[in-house]
Amino acid sequence: MMRLSVLMLVTAGLCVAAPSTAFGQAADPADVESIDAIVAAVYDVISGDAGEARDWDRWRSLFAEGATLSAVVASNDGYRRVIMTPDSYVERSGASLEENGFVEAEINRVTEDYSMIAHAFSTYESYRSRADDEPFTRGINSFQLMKDGSRWWVVSIYWQGEGAANPIPTKYLPGG
């Protein structure tokens, strides 16, 4: 019984150890020093005009090992969740972002945090170019974040675009 207790304690200790990036890329300390910094870094990496390369190594450095990105998309029978890793997001969307241009700008955020965990409901607008005056879409990114004692990590980003059937509630808009 004592052996089992020791094994359980060791296993629990491993589970709460600081996460490591699955990608081996060290983060810029300025990108991960605060909730504001890491959310801004995510938006910065994915944003750029057509022909502008993205820094996918920087992208990878923001995510904890096992992190997920999930989009809620319309399907024939309602909605479904598309689940990606940071790498599969790059494989799926990276070339399109760089070829066509994509700029995502945060317009409002509601953040809740407790100790080493945080949740940020980040309302965004999306543009094809930094020069565009009107967004082609908007929605909400739900960030789940963890601090390991020295830096913040993205654990997951879960998002849904706005649609006629699901307008963004006023409380998640600027001034709301």
pTM of the model: 0.86
Tell me, yes or no, whether 5 lies in a domain: no
pLDDT at 175 over 50: yes
Tell me, yes or no, whether 9 lies in a domain: no
pLDDT at 12 over 90: no
Helix, strand or coil for residue 23?
coil
Tell me, yes or no, whether 42 lies in a domain: yes
Work out how many domains the chain is built from and give that number: 1
Q: CATH number, domain at 121? A: 3.10.450.50
Strand order in the sheet with 63-75: 78-84, 63-75, 152-161, 137-147, 117-127, 103-114
Tell me, yes or no, whether 20 lies in a domain: no
Helix, strand or coil for residue 163?
strand
What's the pLDDT at 24?
54
What's the whole-number average pLDDT of the chain?
A: 90
Question: How big is the chain, counted in residues?
Answer: 176
Q: Which residue has 């005056």 as its token pair?
A: 133
110: domain range?
Answer: 27-172
| AA letter at 147 | K
Tokens of 165: 């059937």
Tell me, yes or no, whether 112 lies in a domain: yes
Tell me, yes or no, whether 4 lies in a domain: no
Each residue's pLDDT tens digit, 89-146: 999 999 999 999 999 999 999 999 999 999 999 999 999 999 999 999 999 999 999 9
Tell me, yes or no, whether 66 lies in a domain: yes
Tell me, yes or no, whether 45 lies in a domain: yes
Q: Please tell me the distance from the alpha carbon of residue 60 to that of residue 58, in angstroms, as a whole number.
A: 5
- State the alpha helices, DSSP H only, in the chain: 2-16, 29-32, 35-46, 56-61, 86-89, 95-100
